Amino acid sequence: METNILIPFLLTLFAGLSTGIGSIIAFFTTKTNKKFLSYSLGFSAGVMIYISFVELFASSKEILIMEFGEKLGMIQNITFFFAGVLLIGIIDKLVPSSENPHEIRSLESMNKTPKKDAKLMRTGVMTALAIGIHNFPEGMATFVAAIQNPALGVAIAVAVAIHNIPEGIAVSVPIYQATGSKKKAFKLSFLSGLAEPIGAIIAYLILMPFLSPILLAYVFAVVAGIMVYISLDELLPAAREYGEHHVSIYGLISGMAVMAISLIIL
């Protein structure tokens, strides 16, 4: 049982701490590879959307129909899916748009001479806090999915990790500009990613004692809603901002294809 819990937790930890990878990239790269970022974000969105509808939503629907019958099962399936959309939508709404963690910040701005700027520092700190809030439900999603299906957990963890990398850049750039300290910028970026393993711990403490096929079906539907919202509201718009529209779509299709093939093989 400990092994079954350890693997999902480590996957969640890996996904969350990828914000630190973004911070490191910001320090050692002088130019933003916009096409690569655009493709990667599109790829992450493709993985999440495919998993959401083909695996999580479908599995939830199958379990609930088996337990409650076709009509009531489908109603519950759809209700909990949109509950997930609503949950992450409310979280997103509570974050001021000027400090949204998915606001594009280029690596080129790291080359500007740092200057003391309280407003810029506040932006960096609030961005780190906002990313933490966003990452919390993602951590729960990765953990619960990995408990049920480790292969699925790996796929979600990789997709989340990819989109956490530019979030790490989003924290590092303003804090470095405000303080001139790479150490402070990295620390806040790193800490913002810890919300995901914390989300996993909360999921373990609250959900695991009551975990049943029905509860798992509800969680799957909610997680599917959260991941679809993140993909459509955050990943794809960010991908288009970073590069050409078609590059992000190529990434999206590639993510779906890789996920489809890997689920067949695994």
- Per-residue confidence band for 1, with pLDDT thresholds at 50, 70 and 90: very low
Whether 197 is covered by a domain: the verdict is yes
pLDDT for 81 equals: 97
Answer yes or no: is 36 within a domain: no
Give the other-Cβ count within 10 Å of 56's Cβ: 31
Would 261 be classed as within a structural domain? Answer: yes
Is residue 44 in a domain? no
Q: What is the residue range of 142's domain?
A: 2-27+49-265
- Mean of per-residue pLDDT scores for the chain: 79
pLDDT of residue 65: 97
Least confident of 24-33, 44-53, 110-119, 247-256: 110-119
Q: How far is Cα 184 from Cα 190, in angstroms, rounded to an integer?
A: 10
Average pLDDT over residues 72-85: 96
Per-residue pLDDT of 141-194, as tens digits, reads 788 888 878 888 888 888 888 878 877 777 777 777 777 778 888 888 888 888
Looking at the domain assignment, is residue 73 inside a domain? Answer: yes
Q: Of 117-126, 146-155, 248-257, give the lowest mean pLDDT range.
A: 117-126
Rounded CA separation 138/157 (Å): 9
Q: Is the pLDDT of residue 2 over 50?
A: no
Express each pLDDT in 5-15 by its tens digit. 888 999 999 98
The answer to whether residue 207 sits within a structural domain is: yes
108 versus 94: which is more confidently predicted?
94
**Residue 72 belongs to a domain:** yes
Give me the number of domains the chain comprises. Answer: 1
For the segment 231-255, the average pLDDT, to the nearest whole number, is 81
Residue 69 located in a structural domain:
yes
